[in-house]
Protein backbone atom coordinates (compact mmCIF):
# COMPACT_ATOMS: atom_id res chain seq x y z
CA UNK A 1 0.00 0.00 0.00
CA UNK A 2 1.07 3.55 -0.70
CA UNK A 3 1.36 5.57 2.49
CA UNK A 4 -0.25 9.02 2.31
CA UNK A 5 2.80 10.94 3.41
CA UNK A 6 2.03 14.52 2.49
CA UNK A 7 -1.29 14.79 4.27
CA UNK A 8 -0.41 17.10 7.16
CA UNK A 9 -3.19 19.55 7.86
CA UNK A 10 -1.62 21.24 10.87
CA UNK A 11 1.65 22.57 12.24
CA UNK A 12 1.63 21.73 15.93
CA UNK A 13 -1.71 23.01 17.15
CA UNK A 14 -2.14 25.36 14.21
CA UNK A 15 -4.74 24.23 11.68
CA UNK A 16 -3.61 25.06 8.13
CA UNK A 17 -5.99 26.78 5.71
CA UNK A 18 -6.93 24.93 2.51
CA UNK A 19 -5.28 27.68 0.38
CA UNK A 20 -1.92 26.81 1.93
CA UNK A 21 -2.35 23.13 1.11
CA UNK A 22 -3.24 23.55 -2.57
CA UNK A 23 0.45 23.46 -3.56
CA UNK A 24 1.48 20.31 -1.71
CA UNK A 25 -1.29 18.24 -0.18
CA UNK A 26 -1.44 14.63 -1.35
CA UNK A 27 1.85 14.77 -3.31
CA UNK A 28 5.12 13.29 -2.14
CA UNK A 29 8.05 14.67 -4.16
CA UNK A 30 10.33 11.91 -2.82
CA UNK A 31 8.34 9.44 -4.92
CA UNK A 32 9.08 11.53 -8.06
CA UNK A 33 12.84 12.23 -7.93
CA UNK A 34 12.32 15.35 -5.80
CA UNK A 35 10.23 17.13 -8.44
CA UNK A 36 8.56 20.05 -6.65
CA UNK A 37 5.67 19.89 -9.09
CA UNK A 38 3.98 16.57 -9.81
CA UNK A 39 4.75 14.87 -13.12
CA UNK A 40 1.90 13.99 -15.47
CA UNK A 41 1.55 10.25 -14.87
CA UNK A 42 0.94 9.06 -18.41
CA UNK A 43 0.40 5.40 -17.66
CA UNK A 44 -2.64 3.20 -18.05
CA UNK A 45 -1.55 0.56 -15.54
CA UNK A 46 0.53 0.25 -12.34
CA UNK A 47 2.88 -2.54 -11.30
CA UNK A 48 2.61 -4.23 -7.89
CA UNK A 49 5.71 -4.66 -5.73
CA UNK A 50 4.75 -8.34 -5.18
CA UNK A 51 1.98 -10.67 -6.34
CA UNK A 52 0.67 -10.64 -2.76
CA UNK A 53 0.38 -6.84 -2.90
CA UNK A 54 -1.62 -7.16 -6.13
CA UNK A 55 -4.00 -9.52 -4.34
CA UNK A 56 -4.38 -7.00 -1.51
CA UNK A 57 -4.99 -4.11 -3.92
CA UNK A 58 -7.87 -6.01 -5.51
CA UNK A 59 -9.38 -6.92 -2.12
CA UNK A 60 -9.47 -3.21 -1.28
CA UNK A 61 -10.54 -1.99 -4.75
CA UNK A 62 -13.47 -4.41 -4.86
CA UNK A 63 -14.59 -3.56 -1.32
CA UNK A 64 -13.81 -6.97 0.21
CA UNK A 65 -11.42 -5.28 2.64
CA UNK A 66 -11.35 -1.71 4.00
CA UNK A 67 -8.56 0.70 3.13
CA UNK A 68 -5.90 0.19 5.86
CA UNK A 69 -5.77 2.98 8.45
CA UNK A 70 -3.52 5.85 7.35
CA UNK A 71 -3.01 4.48 3.85
CA UNK A 72 -4.69 4.86 0.49
CA UNK A 73 -5.86 2.17 -1.90
CA UNK A 74 -3.07 0.80 -4.07
CA UNK A 75 -3.01 2.02 -7.66
CA UNK A 76 -4.17 -0.58 -10.21
CA UNK A 77 -5.40 0.90 -13.47
CA UNK A 78 -6.04 4.47 -14.64
CA UNK A 79 -9.76 4.00 -15.28
CA UNK A 80 -10.02 3.51 -11.49
CA UNK A 81 -7.41 5.93 -10.31
CA UNK A 82 -4.07 7.56 -11.00
CA UNK A 83 -1.85 9.97 -9.03
CA UNK A 84 -2.92 13.16 -10.83
CA UNK A 85 -6.62 12.47 -10.27
CA UNK A 86 -5.97 11.56 -6.62
CA UNK A 87 -4.21 14.87 -5.95
CA UNK A 88 -7.15 16.83 -7.34
CA UNK A 89 -9.59 14.72 -5.32
CA UNK A 90 -7.66 15.17 -2.06
CA UNK A 91 -7.36 18.94 -2.54
CA UNK A 92 -10.92 19.51 -3.70
CA UNK A 93 -12.22 17.60 -0.66
CA UNK A 94 -10.24 19.99 1.57
CA UNK A 95 -11.89 23.01 -0.06
CA UNK A 96 -15.42 21.58 0.00
CA UNK A 97 -14.96 20.27 3.57
CA UNK A 98 -15.89 16.71 2.63
CA UNK A 99 -14.10 13.46 3.44
CA UNK A 100 -13.62 12.59 -0.21
CA UNK A 101 -14.04 13.70 -3.80
CA UNK A 102 -14.44 11.78 -7.05
CA UNK A 103 -13.23 13.47 -10.23
CA UNK A 104 -15.05 12.78 -13.51
CA UNK A 105 -14.44 13.56 -17.18
CA UNK A 106 -16.99 16.42 -17.18
CA UNK A 107 -19.62 18.07 -15.04
CA UNK A 108 -22.24 16.00 -16.87
CA UNK A 109 -20.17 12.88 -16.12
CA UNK A 110 -20.27 13.77 -12.43
CA UNK A 111 -24.06 14.28 -12.59
CA UNK A 112 -24.40 10.91 -14.38
CA UNK A 113 -22.38 9.16 -11.66
CA UNK A 114 -24.44 10.91 -8.96
CA UNK A 115 -27.79 9.87 -10.46
CA UNK A 116 -26.79 6.28 -11.20
CA UNK A 117 -25.34 5.85 -7.71
CA UNK A 118 -28.76 6.21 -6.10
CA UNK A 119 -31.65 5.95 -8.59
CA UNK A 120 -33.30 2.73 -9.76
CA UNK A 121 -36.32 2.21 -12.06
CA UNK A 122 -39.53 3.34 -10.35
CA UNK A 123 -37.76 5.84 -8.08
CA UNK A 124 -38.71 9.50 -7.90
CA UNK A 125 -36.12 12.23 -8.47
CA UNK A 126 -37.17 15.54 -6.90
CA UNK A 127 -35.35 18.51 -8.40
CA UNK A 128 -35.15 22.28 -8.46
CA UNK A 129 -36.06 24.19 -11.59
CA UNK A 130 -34.72 25.66 -13.82
CA UNK A 131 -31.58 23.56 -14.10
CA UNK A 132 -28.46 23.83 -16.23
CA UNK A 133 -29.55 22.96 -19.80
CA UNK A 134 -27.57 19.71 -20.03
CA UNK A 135 -28.93 18.53 -16.68
CA UNK A 136 -32.48 19.38 -17.74
CA UNK A 137 -32.09 17.35 -20.96
CA UNK A 138 -30.57 14.37 -19.13
CA UNK A 139 -33.38 14.34 -16.55
CA UNK A 140 -36.25 14.77 -19.01
CA UNK A 141 -35.07 12.80 -22.04
CA UNK A 142 -32.80 10.11 -20.64
CA UNK A 143 -33.55 9.36 -16.99
CA UNK A 144 -37.28 9.06 -17.71
CA UNK A 145 -36.46 6.39 -20.35
CA UNK A 146 -34.93 4.37 -17.50
CA UNK A 147 -38.12 4.57 -15.44
CA UNK A 148 -37.17 7.51 -13.22
CA UNK A 149 -40.08 9.82 -12.33
CA UNK A 150 -39.46 13.55 -12.05
CA UNK A 151 -41.05 16.05 -9.71
CA UNK A 152 -39.84 19.65 -9.69
CA UNK A 153 -40.06 22.57 -7.31
CA UNK A 154 -39.67 26.16 -8.50
CA UNK A 155 -38.83 28.01 -5.31
CA UNK A 156 -35.96 26.50 -3.32
CA UNK A 157 -36.39 29.01 -0.50
CA UNK A 158 -40.06 28.23 0.05
CA UNK A 159 -41.06 25.40 2.37
CA UNK A 160 -44.55 25.40 0.85
CA UNK A 161 -43.18 24.91 -2.66
CA UNK A 162 -40.92 22.03 -1.57
CA UNK A 163 -43.61 20.35 0.55
CA UNK A 164 -46.05 20.49 -2.38
CA UNK A 165 -43.43 18.66 -4.46
CA UNK A 166 -42.96 16.07 -1.69
CA UNK A 167 -46.71 15.40 -1.63
CA UNK A 168 -46.77 14.90 -5.40
CA UNK A 169 -43.60 12.75 -5.33
CA UNK A 170 -44.92 10.48 -2.57
CA UNK A 171 -47.89 9.52 -4.71
CA UNK A 172 -45.56 8.39 -7.53
CA UNK A 173 -43.08 6.13 -5.71
CA UNK A 174 -40.11 6.11 -3.34
CA UNK A 175 -38.22 9.43 -3.31
CA UNK A 176 -34.62 8.36 -3.88
CA UNK A 177 -32.94 11.70 -4.54
CA UNK A 178 -33.34 15.44 -4.15
CA UNK A 179 -31.16 17.27 -6.68
CA UNK A 180 -30.89 21.05 -6.71
CA UNK A 181 -28.75 23.71 -8.31
CA UNK A 182 -27.75 26.64 -6.11
CA UNK A 183 -27.52 29.35 -7.16
CA UNK A 184 -29.58 28.76 -10.27
CA UNK A 185 -28.34 29.89 -13.62
CA UNK A 186 -28.93 32.58 -15.01
CA UNK A 187 -31.13 34.15 -12.32
CA UNK A 188 -29.02 33.40 -9.20
CA UNK A 189 -32.09 31.97 -7.44
CA UNK A 190 -30.88 30.25 -4.24
CA UNK A 191 -31.83 26.94 -2.69
CA UNK A 192 -32.14 26.96 1.12
CA UNK A 193 -29.72 24.13 2.00
CA UNK A 194 -31.11 23.70 5.53
CA UNK A 195 -34.58 23.29 4.06
CA UNK A 196 -33.36 20.51 1.72
CA UNK A 197 -31.73 18.67 4.64
CA UNK A 198 -34.89 19.07 6.74
CA UNK A 199 -37.02 17.76 3.86
CA UNK A 200 -34.75 14.71 3.43
CA UNK A 201 -35.06 13.97 7.16
CA UNK A 202 -38.83 14.22 6.95
CA UNK A 203 -39.00 11.88 3.94
CA UNK A 204 -36.74 9.43 5.78
CA UNK A 205 -39.13 9.36 8.72
CA UNK A 206 -42.08 8.73 6.42
CA UNK A 207 -40.67 6.20 3.95
CA UNK A 208 -37.90 4.61 6.01
CA UNK A 209 -35.14 5.23 3.49
CA UNK A 210 -33.40 8.57 3.30
CA UNK A 211 -33.24 10.19 -0.13
CA UNK A 212 -29.73 11.16 -1.24
CA UNK A 213 -29.38 14.95 -1.38
CA UNK A 214 -27.22 16.50 -4.10
CA UNK A 215 -26.45 20.16 -4.83
CA UNK A 216 -24.83 21.38 -8.02
CA UNK A 217 -22.34 23.74 -6.36
CA UNK A 218 -20.62 24.92 -9.56
CA UNK A 219 -21.43 28.63 -9.41
CA UNK A 220 -20.22 29.59 -5.92
CA UNK A 221 -18.35 26.57 -4.61
CA UNK A 222 -16.02 25.63 -3.14
CA UNK A 223 -14.81 29.12 -2.14
CA UNK A 224 -18.09 30.92 -1.36
CA UNK A 225 -20.28 27.89 -0.64
CA UNK A 226 -19.57 24.50 0.96
CA UNK A 227 -22.65 22.32 1.12
CA UNK A 228 -21.37 18.97 2.45
CA UNK A 229 -20.52 20.42 5.89
CA UNK A 230 -24.13 21.74 6.01
CA UNK A 231 -25.52 18.21 5.72
CA UNK A 232 -25.90 17.74 1.96
CA UNK A 233 -24.73 14.25 0.87
CA UNK A 234 -23.14 15.15 -2.45
CA UNK A 235 -21.72 18.40 -3.84
CA UNK A 236 -21.60 18.20 -7.63
CA UNK A 237 -19.20 20.30 -9.69
CA UNK A 238 -18.45 21.20 -13.25
CA UNK A 239 -14.71 21.79 -12.83
CA UNK A 240 -14.81 23.24 -16.35
CA UNK A 241 -15.99 26.49 -14.77
CA UNK A 242 -14.36 28.30 -11.82
CA UNK A 243 -12.19 25.44 -10.57
CA UNK A 244 -10.50 24.87 -13.94
CA UNK A 245 -10.95 28.60 -14.34
CA UNK A 246 -9.13 29.26 -17.62
CA UNK A 247 -11.66 27.94 -20.17
CA UNK A 248 -9.12 25.37 -21.35
CA UNK A 249 -10.41 22.05 -19.99
CA UNK A 250 -13.56 20.02 -19.34
CA UNK A 251 -13.97 18.06 -16.07
CA UNK A 252 -16.29 17.47 -13.14
CA UNK A 253 -16.34 16.16 -9.58
CA UNK A 254 -18.57 14.96 -6.78
CA UNK A 255 -17.68 15.53 -3.10
CA UNK A 256 -19.15 13.66 -0.16
CA UNK A 257 -18.66 11.30 2.75
CA UNK A 258 -18.70 7.57 3.48
CA UNK A 259 -20.86 5.09 1.60
CA UNK A 260 -22.65 7.76 -0.44
CA UNK A 261 -19.47 8.93 -2.19
CA UNK A 262 -18.19 5.35 -2.47
CA UNK A 263 -21.29 4.48 -4.49
CA UNK A 264 -20.49 7.39 -6.84
CA UNK A 265 -16.91 6.20 -7.22
CA UNK A 266 -18.07 2.67 -8.08
CA UNK A 267 -20.24 4.03 -10.91
CA UNK A 268 -17.42 6.30 -12.13
CA UNK A 269 -14.96 3.40 -12.24
CA UNK A 270 -17.31 0.84 -13.81
CA UNK A 271 -18.80 3.15 -16.40
CA UNK A 272 -15.52 4.71 -17.44
CA UNK A 273 -16.24 8.30 -16.37
CA UNK A 274 -12.78 9.07 -14.99
CA UNK A 275 -10.71 12.04 -16.12
CA UNK A 276 -7.24 11.83 -17.66
CA UNK A 277 -3.83 12.65 -16.10
CA UNK A 278 -3.14 15.71 -18.23
CA UNK A 279 -6.48 17.37 -17.47
CA UNK A 280 -6.02 16.59 -13.77
CA UNK A 281 -2.53 18.09 -13.82
CA UNK A 282 -4.01 21.30 -15.23
CA UNK A 283 -6.70 21.30 -12.54
CA UNK A 284 -4.09 20.87 -9.80
CA UNK A 285 -2.36 23.97 -11.20
CA UNK A 286 -5.71 25.81 -11.28
CA UNK A 287 -6.46 24.89 -7.65
CA UNK A 288 -3.37 26.82 -6.54
CA UNK A 289 -4.97 30.09 -7.66
CA UNK A 290 -8.66 29.23 -7.21
CA UNK A 291 -9.21 31.21 -4.04
CA UNK A 292 -7.42 34.35 -5.25
CA UNK A 293 -9.14 34.20 -8.66
CA UNK A 294 -12.64 33.77 -7.27
CA UNK A 295 -12.11 36.51 -4.68
CA UNK A 296 -10.92 39.03 -7.28
CA UNK A 297 -13.57 38.06 -9.81
CA UNK A 298 -16.27 38.45 -7.16
CA UNK A 299 -14.94 41.90 -6.16
CA UNK A 300 -14.91 43.05 -9.77
CA UNK A 301 -18.32 41.48 -10.38
CA UNK A 302 -19.85 43.43 -7.52
CA UNK A 303 -18.36 46.71 -8.82
CA UNK A 304 -19.86 46.01 -12.23
CA UNK A 305 -23.24 45.01 -10.80
CA UNK A 306 -23.36 48.24 -8.79
CA UNK A 307 -22.42 50.27 -11.85
CA UNK A 308 -25.12 48.54 -13.91
CA UNK A 309 -27.76 49.20 -11.25
CA UNK A 310 -26.96 52.93 -11.35
CA UNK A 311 -25.80 53.28 -14.95
CA UNK A 312 -26.52 56.63 -16.61
CA UNK A 313 -27.84 55.16 -19.89
CA UNK A 314 -30.81 52.94 -19.19
CA UNK A 315 -32.71 51.48 -16.25
CA UNK A 316 -31.95 47.75 -15.86
CA UNK A 317 -32.78 45.09 -13.29
CA UNK A 318 -29.62 43.48 -11.85
CA UNK A 319 -29.78 39.88 -10.61
CA UNK A 320 -26.61 39.97 -8.52
CA UNK A 321 -26.89 38.18 -5.12
CA UNK A 322 -25.94 41.33 -3.19
CA UNK A 323 -28.53 43.42 -5.04
CA UNK A 324 -31.57 41.11 -5.09
CA UNK A 325 -34.10 42.91 -2.87
CA UNK A 326 -35.93 40.05 -1.20
CA UNK A 327 -35.75 39.52 2.52
CA UNK A 328 -35.96 35.72 2.44
CA UNK A 329 -33.35 35.56 -0.34
CA UNK A 330 -30.99 37.75 1.68
CA UNK A 331 -31.45 35.61 4.81
CA UNK A 332 -30.58 32.43 2.92
CA UNK A 333 -27.69 34.16 1.12
CA UNK A 334 -26.22 35.42 4.40
CA UNK A 335 -26.39 32.06 6.17
CA UNK A 336 -24.96 29.81 3.46
CA UNK A 337 -22.73 31.87 1.14
CA UNK A 338 -19.61 33.84 2.03
CA UNK A 339 -19.56 35.80 -1.24
CA UNK A 340 -21.45 36.37 -4.47
CA UNK A 341 -19.36 34.60 -7.11
CA UNK A 342 -19.02 36.50 -10.38
CA UNK A 343 -21.77 35.16 -12.64
CA UNK A 344 -24.93 37.25 -12.75
CA UNK A 345 -27.45 38.69 -15.14
CA UNK A 346 -29.10 42.00 -15.83
CA UNK A 347 -32.35 42.56 -17.63
CA UNK A 348 -33.00 45.19 -20.30
CA UNK A 349 -36.63 46.21 -20.52
CA UNK A 350 -36.37 45.57 -24.26
CA UNK A 351 -36.79 42.85 -26.87
CA UNK A 352 -34.26 40.21 -27.95
CA UNK A 353 -33.03 42.38 -30.87
CA UNK A 354 -31.86 45.03 -28.40
CA UNK A 355 -30.08 42.44 -26.27
CA UNK A 356 -28.32 41.23 -29.42
CA UNK A 357 -27.38 44.79 -30.40
CA UNK A 358 -25.88 45.32 -26.93
CA UNK A 359 -23.91 42.05 -27.02
CA UNK A 360 -22.61 42.73 -30.53
CA UNK A 361 -21.29 46.13 -29.42
CA UNK A 362 -19.08 44.65 -26.66
CA UNK A 363 -15.33 44.42 -27.24
CA UNK A 364 -13.69 42.89 -24.14
CA UNK A 365 -16.59 40.59 -23.24
CA UNK A 366 -16.59 37.58 -25.57
CA UNK A 367 -19.98 36.24 -26.59
CA UNK A 368 -19.89 32.58 -25.53
CA UNK A 369 -21.53 30.06 -23.24
CA UNK A 370 -19.66 28.72 -20.17
CA UNK A 371 -18.48 30.80 -17.21
CA UNK A 372 -15.88 31.05 -14.50
CA UNK A 373 -12.86 31.64 -16.73
CA UNK A 374 -10.22 34.36 -16.41
CA UNK A 375 -11.79 36.18 -19.38
CA UNK A 376 -15.18 37.86 -19.10
CA UNK A 377 -17.99 36.34 -21.12
CA UNK A 378 -21.46 37.50 -22.10
CA UNK A 379 -24.40 35.35 -23.16
CA UNK A 380 -28.08 35.60 -24.04
CA UNK A 381 -29.66 32.57 -22.31
CA UNK A 382 -33.13 32.80 -23.94
CA UNK A 383 -31.63 32.23 -27.41
CA UNK A 384 -28.77 29.86 -26.45
CA UNK A 385 -28.44 27.78 -23.25
CA UNK A 386 -32.14 28.02 -22.40
CA UNK A 387 -33.58 28.09 -25.94
CA UNK A 388 -34.90 24.54 -25.40
CA UNK A 389 -36.93 25.70 -22.37
CA UNK A 390 -40.52 26.53 -23.47
CA UNK A 391 -41.15 30.28 -23.65
CA UNK A 392 -43.84 30.32 -20.94
CA UNK A 393 -41.53 28.41 -18.54
CA UNK A 394 -38.73 30.87 -19.33
CA UNK A 395 -41.07 33.77 -18.48
CA UNK A 396 -42.18 31.99 -15.33
CA UNK A 397 -38.67 31.63 -13.96
CA UNK A 398 -37.49 35.07 -15.09
CA UNK A 399 -35.39 34.23 -18.16
CA UNK A 400 -36.65 37.20 -20.10
CA UNK A 401 -35.86 38.20 -23.71
CA UNK A 402 -33.85 41.18 -22.45
CA UNK A 403 -31.84 39.13 -19.92
CA UNK A 404 -28.08 39.21 -20.48
CA UNK A 405 -25.73 37.03 -18.41
CA UNK A 406 -22.19 38.05 -17.54
CA UNK A 407 -19.33 35.96 -16.21
CA UNK A 408 -16.73 38.33 -14.83
CA UNK A 409 -13.05 37.44 -15.21
CA UNK A 410 -9.79 39.08 -14.23
CA UNK A 411 -9.77 42.16 -16.47
CA UNK A 412 -9.58 45.60 -14.83
CA UNK A 413 -13.07 46.62 -13.63
CA UNK A 414 -12.77 50.09 -15.19
CA UNK A 415 -12.15 48.52 -18.60
CA UNK A 416 -15.13 46.19 -18.31
CA UNK A 417 -17.32 49.13 -17.26
CA UNK A 418 -16.04 51.17 -20.23
CA UNK A 419 -16.98 48.26 -22.51
CA UNK A 420 -20.51 48.03 -21.05
CA UNK A 421 -20.93 51.80 -21.10
CA UNK A 422 -19.98 51.92 -24.77
CA UNK A 423 -22.46 49.14 -25.59
CA UNK A 424 -25.27 51.10 -23.85
CA UNK A 425 -24.32 54.16 -25.95
CA UNK A 426 -24.55 52.09 -29.16
CA UNK A 427 -27.91 50.71 -28.02
CA UNK A 428 -29.53 54.06 -27.24
CA UNK A 429 -28.05 55.86 -30.27
C1 LIG B 1 -21.40 23.72 -17.10
C2 LIG B 1 -22.28 23.22 -16.05
C3 LIG B 1 -22.57 21.85 -15.95
C4 LIG B 1 -22.03 20.83 -16.92
O5 LIG B 1 -20.64 20.72 -16.83
P6 LIG B 1 -19.71 20.23 -18.05
O7 LIG B 1 -18.35 20.31 -17.45
O8 LIG B 1 -19.95 21.16 -19.20
O9 LIG B 1 -20.13 18.84 -18.38
C10 LIG B 1 -23.39 21.46 -14.91
N11 LIG B 1 -23.91 22.34 -14.03
C12 LIG B 1 -23.66 23.66 -14.10
C13 LIG B 1 -24.26 24.59 -13.11
C14 LIG B 1 -22.85 24.15 -15.12
O15 LIG B 1 -22.60 25.47 -15.19
Positions of the chain with pLDDT lower than 50, given as ranges: 1-2
Q: How far is the CA of 108 from the centre of ligand 1 (A)?
A: 6
Q: How far is the CA of 214 from the centre of ligand 1 (A)?
A: 14
Residue 4: the pLDDT is 55
Q: How far is the CA of 138 from the centre of ligand 1 (A)?
A: 12
Residue 416 · residue 364 · CB < 8 Å: yes
Q: How far is the CA of 59 from the centre of ligand 1 (A)?
A: 35
> Mind listing the pLDDT tens digit for each residue in 1-36?
345 556 788 999 999 999 999 999 999 999 899 999
Of 218, 275, 342, best ligand 1 pocket probe by most atoms within 8 Å of the beta carbon: 218
Q: Is the CB of 250 under 6 A from ligand 1?
A: yes
Of 131, 133, 241, best ligand 1 pocket probe by most atoms within 8 Å of the beta carbon: 241
Q: Is the CB of 405 under 6 A from ligand 1?
A: no
Residue 396: the pLDDT is 82
Q: Is the CB of 183 under 6 A from ligand 1?
A: no
Q: Which atom of ligand 1 is nearest to the CA of 219?
A: 13
Q: Is the CB of 379 under 6 A from ligand 1?
A: no
Residue 5: the pLDDT is 55
Q: Is the CB of 252 under 6 A from ligand 1?
A: yes
Residue 1: the pLDDT is 37
Q: How far is the CA of 132 from the centre of ligand 1 (A)?
A: 7
- Residue having the nearest C-alpha atom to atom 1 of ligand 1: 238
> Mind listing the pLDDT tens digit for each residue in 164-201?
999 999 999 999 999 999 999 899 999 999 999 999 99
pTM score, whole prediction: 0.95
Amino acid sequence: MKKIINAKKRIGEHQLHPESLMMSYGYDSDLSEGAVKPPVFLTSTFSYPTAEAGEEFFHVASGRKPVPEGESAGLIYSRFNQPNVEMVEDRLALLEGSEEAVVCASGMGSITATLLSALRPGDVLMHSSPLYGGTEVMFRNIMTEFGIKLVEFHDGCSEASIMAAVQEAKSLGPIAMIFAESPGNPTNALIDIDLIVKTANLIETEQGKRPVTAIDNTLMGPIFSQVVPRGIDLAVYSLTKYVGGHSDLVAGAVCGNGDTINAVRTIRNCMGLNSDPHTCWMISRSLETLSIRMQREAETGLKIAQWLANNPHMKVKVLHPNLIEDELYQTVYAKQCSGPGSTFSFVLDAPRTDAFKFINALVLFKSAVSLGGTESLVSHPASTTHSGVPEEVRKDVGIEEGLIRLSIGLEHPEDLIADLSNAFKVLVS
